[in-house]
Structure 1
Amino acid sequence: MRILLIGPPGAGKGTQAVRLAAHLSIQHISTGDLFREHIDQGTELGQNAHTHIRAGLLAPDEVTIGVIKERLARPDTERGFLLDGFPRNLAQAEALDGILADSKSRLDAVLDLEIPEAEVVRRIAGRRLCRRDREHIFHVDYSQPEVAGACDVCGGELYQRDDDREATVRKRLEVYRSETAPVVDHYQAQGLVTTISALGQVQEVLDRALVAIGQGQVDASGASSC
């Protein structure tokens, strides 16, 4: 099965992508992971990507398309894959269509995670990271530390990243609406899109995704189970 997972920042794409790919035993393909792999290996694509990322810029379309094309050509994708973070604009979507057509395949489903803008702002702007270990993450609403401003694990100071500030989050949402939302329209025209709510617990959202691709069941009450 070949799936594209799409949605705005804060919708939980990364979390759902890992779980859904594992459940289906297919490859989870993340552009972020691919860039790190190519940079670590010192490939030409990696060097080009690193130049832009180091300058705080997005990698150009041709570089992003290049790493995706190389990844999809590997044998382990024959069983299927789940794309996370690509395509981020219409040019990349059209390039993906071409890559798949060349291999005589196509996407089976596009899952569009839907979430209110206010909830996106709440989720992202409420995050607090530990200065000693950024893997220790808390939230002002959902996961408060026992002592305000201090990490429960190591006692480090908690802080808010600049990228997580409300003004920045709203700007990211504007970019998503202008650049990435048209990708949904592109695949909607191909009859591939199912929109699912990204609200609720992680398992609830996963269950909705599985139902959308025919891998789950909906009981008499309307709840999904897998």
Structure 2
Amino acid sequence: MYIGAAWQQIENVPSSINKSFANLKQSTDSEHPTMRLILIGPPGAGKGTQAEYLVERFQIPHISSGDMLRAAVAAGTALGKQADGFMKAGQLVPDELVIALIIERTAQPDCAKGFILDGFPRTRPQAEALAVDLEKAAVALDAVVLIEVPDGRILERVTGRRMDPETGDIYHVQFRPPPADIAGRVVQRKDDTESACTARLEKYHAETAPIIPFYSDQGLLKRIDGDTAPEIVTARIAATLNETTS
């Protein structure tokens, strides 16, 4: 692609996003009343950023499995108390309990128009078990959005992150350098080292990647090229979901 064409693409992104989401919002309000999504992809692919866009556009909740567990424990629900017992014992919360919490969460009023589930499932057995319980609860997924980014680019993104220990602000040595007056105090977090990132990617490919064919076989998988600016990824998701609801 010529440089001029690339800049033209980026400059047109805001209007492209607005148009795609406007069409999609109209579809979800009438012909397709829900937008029930699972968001998957390798660590560092930008799932959190894209979830924020989707939440803002659809006014549906982002259900992060970790946040959901902590909220249930804090609220002292029956399932939350069970989860708290495992967590205090230093044990993993069993899959069946996590799934029960997801079903409970998706039954709440703010999920009437849909939700964005992130952080679960992480393995094929989890995906299969979740599918069974969602069907029992009469909750039909609309799409599973896979944000794809090559491992090399993930490493570039993650290992370049730097945090200001005084403010908690995150910068990037290449994409968002810290201001000169604080450049000397920013640090690399332990989770952002090359060894830590490589370990997470290896775990993703070994444990999580097998859920991709599972959702593909169900006709739910929507592949999104995430190796570009977040705004362009958003436009691609909007266009893909618009096709799904049309």
TM over 0.5: yes
Is the aligned partner of 1:123 residue 2:160? no
Q: 1:28 aligns with which of 62, 65, 68?
A: 62
Give the structure with the higher percent helix.
2
Aligned to 1:139: 172
Q: 1:159 aligns with which of 184, 187, 200?
A: 187
What is the alpha-carbon distance in structure 1 between the residues aligned to residue 160 and residue 82 of structure 2?
35
Alignment of 1:171 onto 2:180: no
Work out the CA distance in 2 between the residues paired with 1:73 and 1:165: 39
Question: Which whole-Å deviations, capped at 9, do the CAs of 1:53-103 have from their partners, x for residues lacking one?
Answer: xx5x75442342232122112132121111111111112211221222112
Query: Does the CA-based 8 Å contact 1:7-1:13 persist in structure 2?
Result: yes
TM-score normalised by the chain length of structure 2: 0.77
C-alpha spacing 1:129/1:58, structure 2 compared with 1 (3 Å) = farther
Matched, 1:82 2:113: no
Q: Which residue of 2 aligns with 1:224?
A: none
Number of residue-to-residue matches in the alignment: 207
1:91 to 114, 118, 125: 125
The partner residue of 1:44 within 69, 73, 81 is: 81
- Distance verdict in 2 for CA 1:58–1:10, change over 3 Å: farther
Question: 1:200 matched to which residue of 2?
Answer: 228
One-letter code of the match for 2:64?
S
Partner in structure 1 of residue 11 of structure 2: none
Give yes or no for contact 1:48–1:63 (8 Å, CA) kept in 2: no
The one of 187, 195, 209 equivalent to 2:215 is 187
Residue type of the partner of 2:59? S
1:169 to 1:215, Cα distance in 2 relative to 1, 3 A:
same
Equivalent-residue separation in structure 1 for 2:72 and 2:165 (angstroms) = 28
The amino acid that maps onto 1:44 is: K
Structure 1 residues 82, 118: CA separation in 2 closer, same or farther (over 3 Å shift)? Answer: same
2:136 to 102, 118, 123: 102
Structure of greater relative contact order (alpha carbons < 8 Å, 6+ residues apart): 2
Whether contact under 8 Å (1:39, 1:50) holds in the other structure is no
Identity across matched positions, percent: 41
Compared with structure 1, are the counterparts of its residues 198 and 125 closer, same or farther at alpha carbon in structure 2 (3 Å cutoff)?
same
Determine helix, strand or coil for the equivalent of 1:213.
helix
CA contact (8 A) 1:40 1:46 kept: no
Give how far 1:16 is off: 0.3
Backbone CA RMSD of aligned residues: 2.1
1:198 & 1:58 partners in 2: Cα distance?
31
Contact 2:65 2:118 in 1 (8 A): yes
In the alignment, the residues of structure 2 paired with residue 139 and residue 58 of structure 1 have an alpha-carbon distance, to the nearest angstrom, of 33
Structure 1 residues 77-132: Cα deviation after superposition (integer angstroms, max 9, x where no partner)? 12111111111111221122122211223211111101010110111111111222
How much does 1:143 deviate? Answer: 1.1
